[in-house]
Amino acid sequence: MNTLLCNPTTWDLLVDAKGNIAVAGEPYSLAQNIASALKTFLGEVYYNQDLGVPYFQDILGYTESASFLAVQFENAALSVPGVVAAQLTGLDFQDRKLTGTLKATDALGVAHNVTF
């Protein structure tokens, strides 16, 4: 599945050599869609309020366990079409910044490592 290509640093749209909005194909598009799902706040998606991670409701301002966070991030990754399995493989919180690595497997059995 194709998706609009975003700059990995600024998350802004990019343009191709012809000046059109750039499009990403497989396998990068799946990894980018997973990263987008991990960045989405619960209730942020206008037409589907059930998508997203409960940052405001359960994470920001709370001291949650790593296993709780793992479940939330894995569920967000599983909401992406084509993802059949997800496992949080690394999580770090330093200087008020939460980062991590998630391993997702697509329907063809290909593993994708997504850093957020």
Structure confidence by residue, pLDDT tens digits, 8-58: 889 899 999 999 999 999 889 999 999 999 999 999 999 999 999 999 999
Domain extents for the chain? 3-115
* pLDDT at 1 (0 to 100): 83
What per-residue confidence (pLDDT) applies to 66?
87
- Give 87's contacts (C-beta < 8 A, 6+ positions apart): 74, 102, 103, 104
Element (H, E) at 101: strand 97-106
pLDDT per residue as tens digits for the range 78-97: 999 999 999 999 999 888 88
- CB of 55 within 8 A of CB of 44? no
CATH of domain 3-115: 3.10.450.40
Q: What was the pLDDT predicted at 44?
A: 95
Strand order in the sheet with 83-94: 83-94, 97-106, 111-115
Per residue in 45-79, pLDDT (tens digit) is 999 999 999 999 998 888 888 899 999 999 999 99
List phi, psi (to 5°) of 111. -90, 140
Of the candidates 97, 88, 93, the one whose C-alpha atom is nearest the C-alpha of residue 115 is: 88
